[in-house]
Amino acid sequence: AQSVSQHNHHVILSEAASLELGCNYSYGGTVNLFWYVQYPGQHLQLLLKYFSGDPLVKGIKGFEAEFIKSKFSFNLRKPSVQWSDTAEYFCAVRSSYKLIFGSGTRLLVRP
Amino acid sequence: EAGVVQSPRYKIIEKKQPVAFWCNPISGHNTLYWYLQNLGQGPELLIRYENEEAVDDSQLPKDRFSAERLKGVDSTLKIQPAELGDSAVYLCASSEGRGSDTQYFGPGTRLTVL
């Protein structure tokens, strides 16, 4: 069965630090990959997505992710985090029209 | 443009009671999804509708869960009777229905079963 692994369950950073959240998936076919973010008290929002083409995708709020097919990875990055990035981040792979999510990473950015 | 609307936002019930959640998708979205999110985990699909047809309900516990989308627009998810382990957030999402489209999520209903 397809699965998504997010290696870090909790991450604490200071403002201006760089961020990288790991995501690995197990699925051998064509993949559609997503990062969703859930800010405190808000609903899940799409941060960025990869369907095909350039493996480096840019999303909202300065986030980007790189699809590395050989490593089955889709890591999320941001060069300089802000306090407002405090949220929970979910990686997901689309398989047969449904999204399979990782368990999420809670990011706390200290001012 | 309005997003996915869900109600209620919070629900507290005693075990063995019935409960229902309502979802109104984004206008024009043919595909509707219900997901279950347990604490500390990512959402898991319960059922997917294409218009009014349930095309994937393999993960829906049919002994106590039911869902409907009668006119292919809004949908209701029901649990009867509720159990303690059903305490979770129930998320509704919708998408346009094309092959590689994006799912948009509602705020969810947080259910607590006492």
pLDDT band at A95 (very low <50, low <70, confident <90, very high): confident
Q: Which of B100, B104, B109, B110 would you mutate first to test chain A, the one with the most A CBs within 10 A?
A: B100
Task: Round to whole Å and give the CA distance between B95 and B103.
Answer: 5
pLDDT band at B1 (very low <50, low <70, confident <90, very high): low
Residue-wise pLDDT for B63-92, tens only, equals 999 999 988 899 999 999 999 999 999 999
Interface of A with B in 73-102 (CB under 8 A): 90, 92, 94, 96-99, 101-102
Task: Round to whole Å and give the CA distance between A32 and A44.
Answer: 18
Task: Round to whole Å and give the CA distance between B19 and A94.
Answer: 30
Q: Which of B44, B51, B55, B105 would you mutate first to test chain A, the one with the most A CBs within 10 A?
A: B105
- Would you tell me how many other CB atoms lie within 10 Å of the CB of residue A60? 10
pLDDT of residue A37: 96
Of chain A, the percentage scoring pLDDT greater than 70 comes to 99
Contact list in B for residue A44 (CB cut-off 8 A) is: 43, 91, 105
DSSP A92-103: EEEETTEEEE--
Determine the distance from the C-alpha atom of residue B84 to the mean position of all C-alpha atoms in its chain, rounded to a whole number: 18
Q: Who's near A63: CB < 8 A, 6+ residues apart?
A: A35, A47, A48, A76, A77, A78
